[in-house]
Structure 1
């Protein structure tokens, strides 16, 4: 009995192996359309850039680094280091990357068979009123235990295309994470420089308040001695209180900036303080010729391209639905009515089988799914091209802003110097009795306004520099050592450009 059983198992195993090999050969077929990265219209150079600027297609494999170190501010460096650790938006993006990677494992599991095992015990009774039933009216126990397996060979690439799409989605999530990090670090730098600009203006207003208070005290003494009339004291009082009002308003705005920084680094606003610092960082010089690889570092462009690849894979999945599915199944175990002989050889049962199933009519559901997948692909291509256009716009906007602000800063510096000179001359003339104190107040107001305007322009230059770095993908040097000093950056810009590193090969190619 047992030799015959082994012989039958051997023959069936050979048949199953033959069917498996046939399925593996057919699995070489794929319905996935050949993937090509969508084209985008690329200008020859930036309109607002100096000669030597250029750009190329996205290649997010280029290294990114701590671009904020270009500003040489130790406090900013410490704050930026806390973005990855404590920022909740960045943590959410990390979780989304992990979720996308788990979907790759989930889809890849479709290549393997599903194996289940179980044991059962039940009792059943057949009705006694049944005719021609040997077990009519009897209670029959049943003891069983067995293992079953089923496998669906990937004949037409449905599983493989699903894995390709999941991999592209995971890569898009990784690029989204880099985009979040870049955005959060840029927001932190903008808020930090705005706060430092407020510190500079606060110091200027504090000094002005002290000077105006001293002047008012002097005028009050002159009024008591009869040297001047009350109008000069009234003018000085008005100027002092108006400046104090501006000084207090600076405190309100600075507190809001400090709270925004606390949120970005993941700390409660009530427990975070940033001591005032009257020194304003300076924007790093823009190299004459930036490497063409810089725009390729944009993670949002990379994410948009990966989503195009994922949508292309979904077209393959929709195509595979038009072909039949082959399911191979096997089961074996022990079953007996009585418990005592349950584990003996005669209780053995087994089965092997295969099933080829295909849908003949579904009312156009598969066709509609294919059309929907194709439309989704077209939409992702449009999103990709729009992302590239927006990237060019952001670079152009900030280049234009930096060029204009440079001219504006030079002009404002001349105005500030002239206003300071006018204030000194007017003060000398007032002390000599040649003019009234109203002339001094006017000169002081003009000088203070010009100084504050100069500080605000410097803050806007820093903000535009940060936004340009963000638009370029995080740095303007083409080296893995992104923490280099600005002098190193200038040296790198003067050196000949090296060829771009090859782009990461998109999924599905």
Structure 2
């Protein structure tokens, strides 16, 4: 007895349906290592001396409005203004809204049939039949129809396309959140840098004044024969060298203020006044998410995960396009060669149709597209793995920087305190006439240099804290809404 085999597409459909096999990968993120600690060395429980100590709270969720921990109402107001008025952020938000609307349009178009009203009026001249009647015919055609068509998504081609677009919107949503967080960090860091540079400019201006006072004293001594010409030249060179460093500092300070103004949506001439660096409070507690939670908080990791789902859906779509597609169409209307006949009962026209298309030969294009989609998925998977490793490195570098900046600030503060005490002692000795006034200037110069180092170290520690807050991502409770349609995790035929 001869066994009759079903057609190949039907057989494949039967096998796939019975086995429950998907047309593509699930898009689930691959398993990643869970390190015990981020950096090469274990994370300390706290850093900094008493009075300026910071504690790392392991397992605490990210702080949504972490900039408020600096205790500066001005800084908080600047951040809120930037979130409202930054034009690059507004552009990203509008692009995200547009992507969501395009997704909705794509889904609606795939779920519902298309219905169109068509009206037609034509005047035509056509050749007549040879030796019968006139050589040409001149006539009018009037027609009005309602046409409907629908394509059945038998193998999920449209559904996979919708899933890919939905995941793309998810990725764009996470990228928008990353842009918001980057904007906040840039505002905080720019404000801190501007405040620190203002201190450096002020101290350097005073150092220039002290150096010029020293040069004037050496000149008077040289005129009296108590100092050599070389001493005078050295004093003048020192004063001019300090003065030469001042324009660069002033340019950096103004550039930081200009950058802050633009981030806030202002013109550079409307830059806000500088913060008082000493008034900024060092956040006492810094959240430190465990690696497993970091994967669910960092926008860049979430965006890479969404990109993986995009690639999975596109691979399934490329496979589904090798299977049959079924479309139906219908039309109903009135037609005729004259207007009265076109609108009368005799002019009624209608049509029904169905088409089943099975790709047979496309020169290997469909197979190549499916294989290309598979390679794109593997690339997205590698990108996810690298993004996670980069995130771990970012957190590790931020922790190490903050720890070392705390040590540097501690040493700089101790040096500033010692030099300040030495300067005060020199001032008292000058007042008693025990030492010349140049000794007080020397003590003040040492103090100013130490104060400059402390300002840099303080700004570096404040910035490193902001960077670590940024590296932790956003808490799950404060995460923004993503796309209106969730991509299917497992694409089934």
TM-score w.r.t. the length of structure 1 is 0.78
Give the deviation of 1:273 after TM superposition: 4.2
Partner of 1:37: 29
Partner of 2:319: 319
Q: What are the within-5 Å matches in structure 2 for residues 110-129 of structure 1?
A: 110-128=110-128
Equivalences, count: 452
Q: What are the within-5 Å matches in structure 2 for residues 96-111 of structure 1?
A: 96-108=95-107, 109-111=109-111
Decide whether the 8 Å contact of 1:203 with 1:278 is kept in 2.
no
Structure 1 residues 196 and 372, CA, compared in 2 at 3 Å: closer, same or farther? same
Q: What are the within-5 Å matches in structure 2 for residues 87-166 of structure 1?
A: 87-108=86-107, 109-128=109-128, 130=130, 137-166=136-165
Give the deviation of 1:378 after TM superposition: 0.9
Structure 1 residues 505 and 456, CA, compared in 2 at 3 Å: closer, same or farther? farther
Higher mean displacement: 141-150 or 429-438: 429-438
1:347-392 per-position Cα deviation (integer Å, ceiling 9, x unaligned): 1111111111111111110011001111111111111111111111
Alignment partner of 1:78 is 2:70:
no
Q: What are the within-5 Å matches in structure 2 for residues 46-65 of structure 1?
A: 46-47=38-39, 48-50=42-44, 65=64
SS where residue 508 of structure 1 aligns? coil
Partner of 1:393: 393
Unaligned regions of 5+ residues in structure 2, if any? 1-16, 46-55
SS where residue 140 of structure 1 aligns? strand
Decide whether the 8 Å contact of 1:315 with 1:370 is kept in 2.
yes
SS where residue 34 of structure 1 aligns? coil
Give distance in 2, aligned partners of 1:454 and 1:105. Answer: 55
Alignment partner of 1:337 is 2:317:
no
SS where residue 81 of structure 1 aligns? helix
Give distance in 1, aligned partners of 2:89 and 2:333. Answer: 52
Structure 1 residues 288 and 469, CA, compared in 2 at 3 Å: closer, same or farther? closer
SS where residue 317 of structure 1 aligns? helix
Give distance in 1, aligned partners of 2:276 and 2:426. Answer: 32
SS where residue 359 of structure 1 aligns? coil
Partner of 2:488: 508
Structure 1 residues 276 and 210, CA, compared in 2 at 3 Å: closer, same or farther? farther
Structure 1 residues 425 and 271, CA, compared in 2 at 3 Å: closer, same or farther? closer
Give distance in 1, aligned partners of 2:419 and 2:364. Answer: 79
Structure 1 residues 404 and 63, CA, compared in 2 at 3 Å: closer, same or farther? closer
Decide whether the 8 Å contact of 1:236 with 1:441 is kept in 2.
no
Partner of 2:195: 196
1:239-290 per-position Cα deviation (integer Å, ceiling 9, x unaligned): 6655555444432221111111122122221333425646352321235865
Partner of 2:473: 473
SS where residue 147 of structure 2 aligns? strand
Give distance in 2, aligned partners of 1:480 and 1:94. Answer: 17
Higher mean displacement: 157-166 or 242-251: 242-251
Higher mean displacement: 65-74 or 152-161: 65-74
Partner of 1:382: 382
Partner of 2:328: 328
Q: What are the within-5 Å matches in structure 2 for residues 224-373 of structure 1?
A: 243-275=242-274, 277=276, 279-287=278-286, 293=293, 296-373=296-373
Give the deviation of 1:101 after TM superposition: 1.2
Structure 1 residues 153 and 426, CA, compared in 2 at 3 Å: closer, same or farther? same
Structure 1 residues 507 and 45, CA, compared in 2 at 3 Å: closer, same or farther? farther
SS where residue 340 of structure 2 aligns? coil
Give the deviation of 1:34 after TM superposition: 3.0
Give distance in 2, aligned partners of 1:295 and 1:69. Answer: 25
Give distance in 2, aligned partners of 1:250 and 1:98. Answer: 42
Higher mean displacement: 119-128 or 152-161: 119-128
Q: What are the within-5 Å matches in structure 2 for residues 353-502 of structure 1?
A: 353-425=353-425, 443-474=443-474
Give the root-mean-square deviation of aligned CA atoms. 3.7
Unaligned regions of 5+ residues in structure 1, if any? 1-25, 57-61, 482-503
Higher mean displacement: 261-270 or 169-178: 261-270
Give distance in 2, aligned partners of 1:29 and 1:354. Answer: 29
Give the deviation of 1:150 after TM superposition: 1.1
1:445-484 per-position Cα deviation (integer Å, ceiling 9, x unaligned): 4332222111111111011111111111157xx8759xxx
Partner of 2:13: none
Give distance in 2, aligned partners of 1:320 and 1:349. Answer: 36
Decide whether the 8 Å contact of 2:409 with 2:458 is kept in 1.
yes
Structure 1 residues 410 and 137, CA, compared in 2 at 3 Å: closer, same or farther? closer
